[in-house]
Every structure is written in C-alpha cells, then in structure tokens.
Amino acid sequence: MRTAFPPKSIARTCVRTSARRWRECWRAWQPPVRDTSFYLLGWGGPNTDAMFTLQPLLHSRNAKGDGDYNWGDYRDEKMDALIDQAKVEMDRAKRQPLINEALRIQHENVYHIPLHRRMSPWASRANVEVVHRPDSWVEVSWVKVR
C-alpha cells in the first residue's frame, strides 16, 4: 500500500532547508500512484460553497479537473450528473436540491469516512456578542459590545 506522504529521507532533507528550498523539495516529490485503499486527506478552507467539496472530492476524475482528490477512484454517474448540474445552476431554489441529493448519495454510499472534525471553540465576555461564521473568520463590524 502506498501512502500520501513523502519518504522520510525527502521529508528530513526538506525540513532542514529554507522555506524556498522546502517548496522546491516538496514539488520535486511526486505523489503516489492512485492505487491506495486507504488515505488521509485534510480538506477545508474559507469558502463554504458546497461545490468546493463536491467537485474535487466526490466527482469522478476526468480531463476537466473534476475529481482531482477522488483518491478512492470511485465512480457514480448519478453523483457526477448532479454535481455537473449544480455547477452551472444559478437559481438557488433549483441548485440546493441538487446539492442535497448529491450529499445524500455520499451519505448512503459512504464514499468517505470522516475521522476528524475540527472544533472551533470561542469565548468572549458576557457583554460581547460575536457571530461565529463557518469559516471561523471574525467580522469586526458584526461584533457588538453591550
């Protein structure tokens, strides 16, 4: 079984170098061939639109770049069709059911097993009201001090 991590010798060499050399080192290491039965993938970011998860993770791989992180290499034509439709649908009322159905398929077929969910505990004084956004960003203009 191959892993999605660089060999220890490359990692050791890269760690002992400057930041610029680290980037060059990391680029030089080629990721493994996609013949893995198990892998760990960290996914997230500031964008909360469903397409930033559906398209790279749940779509089957193709020449257009869809499914680039579908390391399980599973294919589900119904899922692909729903994602393709949702990508171009501009009407929220029509787009949301497509996304919901794609996520339902993912849930039923268990294409991914989430092992960890980052918790983001916040604290503030009793007189401070802060909106906790999904991307953990604080909008200063939304903070209210009573």
Kindly report, residue by residue over 39-74, the tens digit of the pLDDT: 777 777 667 889 998 999 999 999 998 998 888 888
Same domain (yes/no): 62, 27:
no
Question: Is 124 contained in some domain?
Answer: yes
Print the domain residue range for 99: 42-139
Same domain (yes/no): 28, 50:
no
CA atoms within a 13 Å half-sphere pointing along the CA-CB vector of 109: 14
Question: Is 132 contained in some domain?
Answer: yes
Same domain (yes/no): 3, 56:
no
pTM of the model: 0.61
Give how many domains the chain has, as a whole number.
2
Distance CA 132, CA 86 (A): 27
Beta partners for residue 145, in sequence order? 128
The confidence score (pLDDT) of residue 10 equals 47
Beta partners for residue 128, in sequence order? 145
Taking CA 74 as the corner, what is the angle to CA 115 and CA 76, rounded to the nearest 5 degrees? 115
Same domain (yes/no): 55, 92:
yes
Counting other chains too, the contacts that 135-138 makes at CB distance below 8 Å and 24 or more residues apart are: 135/45, 135/46, 135/47, 135/48, 137/46
Same domain (yes/no): 102, 122:
yes
Distance CA 86, CA 27 (A): 33
Same domain (yes/no): 46, 8:
no
Q: Is the pLDDT of residue 18 over 70?
A: no
Question: Is 144 contained in some domain?
Answer: no
Same domain (yes/no): 10, 59:
no
Question: Is 59 contained in some domain?
Answer: yes
